[in-house]
Chains A and B, each alone.
Chain A
Amino acid sequence: MSRAGAVIEGRSLRVIRGGSVIVDVPSLTVEEGEVLSLIGPNGAGKTTLLQTVSYLTKPFEGDLFFRGRKVGPECPVLTYRRAIAMVFQEPLLFDATVFENVASGLKIRGMKRVPIRQAVAESLSRFGISHLSDRSARSLSGGEAQRTSLARAFAIRPDILLLDEPFASLDPRSREPLIEDIQAVVRSTGTTAVFVTHDLMESVRLSDRIAVMDRGRILQAGPPEEVLNAPVDEFVASFVGAGTMLKGRIKKSGPDTVTVSVSDREVESAGFFPVGSHVILYIRPENVTLSAQAGTIREDGGPVTSARNVFPGTVTRVTPMGFYQKVGLDCGFPLVSYVTMQSRELLKLAEGRRVTVSFKATAVHVIRKD
């Protein structure tokens, strides 16, 4: 039996092509109303896993359950496929009008004309493209075409929505409002969704859970804050942009904190590890605070703030990253911090500028290396 409450459950899913394992996922569960993101670099197997879940990639090993019924013997494949809707990176519209495209899934299901008209009108309106109804799909812009594709998917009121990088081919001006719209529609309809992307921020915005994939495997799955703040290994950490990764060795171990020797410095972290253990520290850039140098370090070098880690540092590089600035620092070990433009000007951050760097012991995520 599959888990109660799970809309989709995959067990021992494996896809092998040309002798190579493309997907190897022992367990995958998507709960009712949940939005799960599959993220990872190109070739990680995200799309293949999504197509496996949609039952479009065959053959694959393992079992797929839809609401507790095994797809195939207990739940016919066609019934399952008619419970899902899939949106690809390319809109893949038919050579017909927008109305006919949005109606296509309903026509396939043999729905009558009047309810089709109502469902299509509702879906077009949801995605703000009612005015395009009679237009040829071939004459649409990229954003309009992807909206039509999404309207087509939602028109059938799917139990599960599968999205394969639907925003990847759009320019930022089209992408942003579309992400907002899809977020609103998914939330308001309580649709269960699996969403493939390689954009971490998109997945954080849209998902309840993130699954990080590499080489066909899910390395970590959990709520966004868990994946971002507590990556299970170096790959996940680097993919989710943990910012700073430092190799160190446990020097002291207290009841709830450890002191880690990094280069010739000491970093405090929450947790417990045996003294002498080799570890890797992850520090997210948004958890690193910069301040003007004077007044924040005690005479003995200790902190005057609640942050257990305070170091004098020198700015090595400032890189504009759109809405924020990425600041490279040298504190005896390399460190990265994100600041706003306003903070950059206030602190006069530039290469060579000396600052005080602080971060809490709880902001340091430690993974044992040996």
Chain B
Amino acid sequence: MELIVEGIRKAFWLLVTGDPEVIGITLLSLRVSGLATLVSLVIGVAAGTLVALTRFPGRGFVVSLINTGMGLPPVVVGLFVTILLWRSGPLGFLGMLYTPGAMILAQTVIATPIVMGITLAAMQQLPKKLRLQILALGATRLQLVWILTKEARLLLLAAVMAGFGGVISEVGASIMVGGNIKGYSRVLTTATVMEASRGNFDTAIALGIILLVLAFAVNLVLTHIQQKERPR
């Protein structure tokens, strides 16, 4: 108990004093996970909508793959991205391994199926005839997708929350592809793991609390938007 109280006290102190290392780690966490969520949103919404609106052979299999992808183990993602970016790997020439870019890539791979799966469910939940109605109003294919996306926006916000929540809290992939390099690729989760392994539980707890507050704050903002948008 004393350990936890000390952790909270230290977290408070680190935040109040504006510890440059903690601020740096926090900002990097936000940047990596924010960008990964943004990229996954673009890919996931587009792909999810495409799968939802089209019929093709093997569609059921693709949907199963997406649903399975929603629970991708970060460590497995980290492993494959590491192999991909390894010096002798297919994308080794990019020299991205152990950089924040590699972490963004790995987190994007984790978040995209989550966003895609929720988008697919959101689009399928809209009345089928709504598509016909939009086309009958004279919409182009692009306008159709845009209007449907607007109609499903509340659930898409849930997709953003789930995607961001999934990547801000993952540690396996980030530590494997980012390397947890101090001042360069160290994020809140990897730093927490490192401090805990060193026995610096107070610092680990402090970082954990910051991570929780951060995740809560982002979701609070998104939830506020979602609830404000909820039909009256």
Contact = CB atoms under 8 A, between A and B. Distances in A.
Contacts of A86: 132-133, 136
Interface residues of A, number: 24
Contacts of B143: 108
Interface in A52-104: 54, 56, 78, 81-82, 84-86, 88, 90, 92, 94-95, 104
**From B127, B130, B137, B147, residue with most partner A Cβ within 10 Å:** B137
A94 B138 contact: no
Contact of B127 (A54, A90, A139): A90
Contacts of B138: 78, 81-82, 105, 108-109, 156
Contact of A92 (B129, B140, B150, B232): B129
Contacts of B132: 51, 56, 86, 88
Given A90-B129, A92-B130, A136-B231, A85 B140 contact: no
Contacts of A56: 132, 135-136
Given A95-B231, A136-B232, A138-B231, A88 B139 contact: no
Nearest to B132: A56
Contacts of B21: none
Given A92-B127, A92-B130, A81 B151 contact: no
Contacts of B139: 108
A54 B135 CA distance: 10
Contacts, number: 51
A56 B139 CA distance: 12
A136 B232 CA distance: 7
Contacts of B150: 94-95
A104 B137 contact: yes
A235 to B, nearest CB: 29
B151 A108 contact: no
Contacts of B151: 94-95
A107 B91 CA distance: 45
Interface string B201-232: 00000000000000000000000000000011
Nearest to A104: B137
Interface of B: 127, 129-130, 132-133, 135-140, 143, 147, 150-151, 231-232
A85 B134 CA distance: 10
A139 B232 contact: yes
Contacts of A81: 135-136, 138
A283 B13 CA distance: 96
Contacts of A78: 138, 140
B133 to A, nearest CB: 4
A104 B140 CA distance: 13
10 contacts: A56-B135, A78-B138, A78-B140, A92-B130, A94-B150, A104-B147, A105-B137, A105-B138, A108-B137, A139-B231
Nearest to B231: A138
Given A92-B129, A95-B151, A84 B136 contact: yes
Contacts of A104: 137, 147
Nearest to A137: B231
A82 B140 CA distance: 10
Given A56-B136, A108-B138, 7 more contacts: A86-B136, A90-B127, A92-B130, A94-B150, A104-B137, A138-B231, A156-B137
A5 to B, nearest CB: 25
Contacts of A88: 129, 132-133
A23 to B, nearest CB: 16
A81 to B, nearest CB: 5
Contacts of B140: 78
A130 B137 CA distance: 21
Contacts of A82: 138
Contacts of A152: 137
Contacts of A94: 147, 150-151
Given A88-B132, A90-B129, A138 B232 contact: yes
Contacts of A54: 136
A136 B229 CA distance: 11
A92 B135 contact: no
B136 A85 contact: yes
Interface string A40-57: 000000000001001010
Nearest to B135: A56
Nearest to B139: A108
Interface string A203-222: 00000000000000000000
A111 B116 CA distance: 33
A58 to B, nearest CB: 11
B148 to A, nearest CB: 10
B155 to A, nearest CB: 11
A196 to B, nearest CB: 14
Nearest to B131: A56
Contacts of B135: 56, 81
A57 B165 CA distance: 41
A90 B128 CA distance: 11
B54 to A, nearest CB: 13
A156 B139 CA distance: 13
Nearest to B133: A92
